[in-house]
Chains A and B, each alone.
Chain A
Amino acid sequence: MITLTIAIFLLGIIIVGLLNRYPKAAGVIAFFVSLIPFFALLSWSSVMNISLPSYLHFLNFETSWQYNLGPGTLILQITPLGWFFLLLLSSLFPMVILFSISFFRSNAGGFYAAMLLTMLGSFGILLAQDMLTFYIFWEIMSWSILALVIRGGDRKAIVSYLSFGALSAMLILFGFMLLYFKTGTYVFAEMHLDASNLVLAAISLIVSGFAVKGALMPMHVWAPHVYSKSEEPFVAFLSGGLSKLGYFGIMLFMYGVVGFSLLSSWGTFRGVPLFGYTLAVVGAFTAFAGTVLAVMQDDLRKLLAYSSIGQLGYITIGLGIGTPLAITGALFQALNHTFFKAVLFLAAGAVYYRTGKYKISELGGLGYKMPFTFLATLFSIFALAAIPITSGFAAKWLLYEAAIEKKFLFVTPIMLIAGVGAFLYAYKILYGVFLGEPRYDVKEAPLSQLVPMWILVLPLIIFLIFPGWFVDLTAPILQGYGMTAIPHTPFMINTSLAKYNTLAVIFGFIGTLLFAFILYKSKPQERVEHLDNYLAGEPPELYNYNIAMHASSKYYEPFDEVFYPYFKKGAERMWEIILAAGEVFGSGARKIYTGIVGDYSIYILLFFLIMVGWWLLW
């Protein structure tokens, strides 16, 4: 069945690629193909100890698949961790394709083909059980992303993605080589690692390689360029889905292959492995710096890109701390981020579809024109800002609890301040795009764009009410690492420090909202148009009803003034310095090649002498 899936995917890619002149037909075919991973997910639900009714898994996928290749065997097998991340990607992917059916008016065949190839690569990565398979599918995924970035057509985005993608691939490959050198096998399950420095080097290389895909600072430089210059549905999938593959890789190698006890053997600090501690500090820095940079942006997509970087920093913190609480929080944050960030990018796409603008200072007042888009955005923004009426709060809460439990005294304030910073840019999106002065007379987004957005909002509401269900999902994953799931009931999560009862919050909020509603309904009200406004007494007819009232240009100017000097020399500057140093070193090294045969013979002689001398001395 997995063979058949891959075959259908490849066939679908060829068909939609050929249907370039018929974007709607290509989109519909791509949509049906894109549903297959979700059916596979349903049929594998027994891995997570979930028993679904039989009509939900009518397709029976085998749980493991092997193909004998010359140097090794390709092994695909479903694991709880793979299942969890497949849940994120396979539920997001069809929605993104559905959104793009109406989004693209022409020239969409290549888009669908590359998207399907990306999904195929991700499918393979999540099921891979050996380094060879993992790397092959990783490259398929990375290169098909490059195809999609090229469709965006921005040179800086292409170059930065290409160079950082190559860096990521090199780091991962080098780490894999070291692991293979140490163990002599590709298969994860057969690796027996010890606490040598070689393994530490390997895992450090692999984690930093994945950090590029997860846009961890200072490896994030490619992300804002790519996110702001590519097509919306792809960016939604890249930010929501594909960036999680980096964190899947980090989890797989840190906790699956190396394991918590081995990590601790390289030194611990207050019960946390030093390796994880470093990762958590880097994650906290990423969360803070990403947030501050997001507040400064004016381009809607760039803002969302930096916000993405900041929110993914929280996942890194959770993976760094590495207690069951922290890992649950990190996975929860990954799930939330998948859905809310996808909705935000899709909403940005819908706004662009109607108005043709991405600059926040040029938009405004769309809330009354596009109410359903606005409400979907509002829900995702509540999740982004961790307001306790969506599931976004539970994830952040778990991470805070985990940090306090392990006495992270300096990381926790940074996390909380990054959380407050999220309010700032969240409100910038809401005000700049949806509130304020109505500037555009546009219609609501088409139904085929609204439906995906609202379907993606649903998980945020479901896991608000039942955070315990989510903890159930993490139980098999944690079991694999020799940990137990945190204590919970469907509505409540307990930790050693406190508990969080969603029923109390929800019923409390409904009750108080009812009280407020009665107060509010106590008197009738009349609707006035937006120009009937306090303008210091100026009658609008004096200005022919043409008064600019939108204040979204340079909205956080005092903030920019305070923070800009510290963020002026960003990470790009750092990489430029590294590049310049490399160039100096390279041009110095090139002087060795003089082109004179006599010099070369002296080099050979020197080399020989050194070798002999070494052999004699040791």
Chain B
Amino acid sequence: MVNYIDLTIQILVAMGVTALGFAIGMLFNGIARKITARIHNRVGPPIYQGYIDVLKLFTKKTNISHGWIFDFAALFSVAGIALTFLFLPVAGVTLLSGEGDIFLILYLLAIPALGFALGAGASGNPNAAVGIMRALMTMLAYELPLVMVIIAMMVYYDTTSLAVIVQKQANMQWAIFIPVFFIGALVADMALQGMLMEKPFDIPIAPHEIASGPMVEFGGKHLGALMLYKMMGIVVETTLFVDLFLGGGVVLSVSQFGWLAYLVNFIVWFLLILFVFFIALLINAVFPRFRIEQALKFYWKYDAIVGILILIWIFVGVTI
């Protein structure tokens, strides 16, 4: 017999956390633009600019569509990224993350990307096709060092579940304090730069080369959905990083402190993802753009070699 009251509460919490994720994502957009503007010695937009942009896009009077495959982009990107967020432990709150593991998260992240790619391809614009090609190749490039570090962590912690990894880092035993995973965090942070599509890896969306690439034909509500996807993507990817290396932002145990722990953990989680995103922004603000094969060579040569060293370290260290 299913406990309906519990189920309802869980669904409500899930909806609340998803809404919070979208809200933080939109806030991050504004913060990012503000910080970049300050680095450029400009005033910059207000930090709530992200909300205004999304609302404006959803209040456009007319919208165009290139057919039903084109609409997949709007549907799959928002749905997929929200689903991925539900499978992440957020500040120690495990919504659905007990039901899947890191492999599931890595593959769930492909749902919005593939939906986006379908829509962009259906628009028939050659710029979009080139952009998707670049996006997929960037993905191939950064995944190799990323999965090397993640697999090293999986073997070290003897689990593939992200929730358990967060649990094992409780009481401030964060993975980043272990020397090998400190190096791993640096490798993963480089991969994160590609994941967030910040410079020097903003190759897929290069407005000056290929007219913003995959987004070339999207406008109005479609573009609004894609902006939601991109903003939520920042939260999802930085949360993944924080969960892996920074203990998911858990500083107080819930059993000891009750509701206060939830509050403090959420604040710490927010500050940590902001910090991780801030590093990415600083790199973004001062670097030019790589070409696609340069990005591939950077990740597969330098990043991956460090990844292999980490794997060897773990391989020698683990005994059965």
Q: Which residues of A contact B (CB under 8 A)?
A: 270-271, 365, 367-368, 374, 378, 382, 385-389, 393, 396-397, 400-401, 404, 407, 409-410, 412-413, 416-417, 419-421, 423-424, 427, 430-431, 435-438, 492, 497-501, 504-505, 508-509, 511-513, 515-517, 519-520, 522-528, 530, 532-534, 536, 549-552, 555-556, 558-559, 561-562
Contact = CB atoms under 8 A, between A and B. Distances in A.
Given A497-B161, A526-B64, 8 more contacts: A271-B320, A401-B160, A409-B315, A410-B311, A420-B139, A513-B79, A516-B75, A524-B62
Given A407-B155, A417-B144, A555-B129, A270 B320 contact: yes
B148 interface: yes
Interface of B: 11, 14, 18, 58, 60, 62-67, 69, 71, 74-80, 82-83, 86-87, 96, 98-101, 103-104, 106-108, 110-111, 113-114, 117-118, 121-127, 129-130, 132-133, 136-137, 139-140, 143-144, 147-148, 151-152, 154-155, 158-161, 164, 211, 216-217, 220-221, 224-225, 228, 291-293, 296-297, 307, 311, 314-315, 318, 320
A206 to B, nearest CB: 30
A528 B65 contact: yes
Given A404-B154, A409-B314, A512-B78, A431 B132 contact: yes
A522 to B, nearest CB: 6
B82 A512 contact: yes
A516 B22 CA distance: 12
B63 to A, nearest CB: 4
22 contacts: A271-B320, A365-B124, A389-B111, A409-B311, A416-B147, A417-B143, A497-B159, A497-B160, A497-B161, A500-B104, A501-B99, A505-B83, A505-B100, A513-B75, A516-B82, A519-B74, A525-B221, A533-B125, A555-B133, A556-B137, A558-B293, A559-B296
A386 B132 contact: no
Contacts of A367: 69, 122
Contact of A525 (B64, B106, B114, B228): B64
Contacts of A536: 211
Contacts of A524: 62-63
A397 B104 contact: yes
Given A423-B139, A520-B74, A526-B64, A533 B114 contact: no
A368 B67 contact: yes
A400 B103 CA distance: 8
A385 B114 contact: yes
Nearest to A530: B124
A46 B118 CA distance: 44
A497 B108 CA distance: 19
B136 A509 contact: no
Closest 4 CB pairs of A and B: A435-B121, A498-B101, A501-B99, A504-B99
Contacts of A419: 107
Contacts of B132: 427, 431
A382 B117 CA distance: 13
Contacts of B103: 396-397, 400-401
Contacts of B123: 530, 533
Contacts, number: 246
A271 B320 CA distance: 8
A423 B62 CA distance: 34
The interface centre, meaning the residue of A389, A410, A558 with most chain B CB atoms within 10 A of its CB, is A558
B159 A498 contact: yes
Contact of B63 (A270, A492, A511, A526): A526
Contacts of B164: 498
B183 to A, nearest CB: 16
Contacts of A551: 126, 129-130
A417 B154 CA distance: 17
A524 B224 CA distance: 14
B155 A404 contact: yes
Nearest to A270: B320
Contacts of B77: 516
A131 B223 CA distance: 63
Contacts of B113: 423
B238 to A, nearest CB: 20
A534 B69 contact: no
A22 B66 CA distance: 44
B110 A423 contact: yes
Contacts of B127: 534
B77 to A, nearest CB: 8
A505 to B, nearest CB: 7
A1 to B, nearest CB: 45
Contacts of B144: 413, 417
Contact of B221 (A270, A416, A501, A523): A523
Contacts of A423: 110, 113-114, 136, 139-140
B78 A549 contact: no
A505 B160 CA distance: 17
A501 B97 CA distance: 10
A404 B124 CA distance: 42
A401 B293 CA distance: 32
A504 B96 contact: yes
Contact of B140 (A396, A409, A420, A517): A420
B110 A519 contact: no
B75 A508 contact: no
Contacts of B129: 431, 436, 550-552, 555
Contacts of B148: 413
Contacts of B143: 416-417, 420
B75 A520 contact: yes
Contacts of B140: 417, 420-421, 423-424, 559
The interface centre, meaning the residue of A365, A410, A525 with most chain B CB atoms within 10 A of its CB, is A525
B217 A534 contact: yes
Given A515-B78, A520-B74, A558-B137, A527 B100 contact: no
The interface centre, meaning the residue of A517, A522, A523 with most chain B CB atoms within 10 A of its CB, is A523
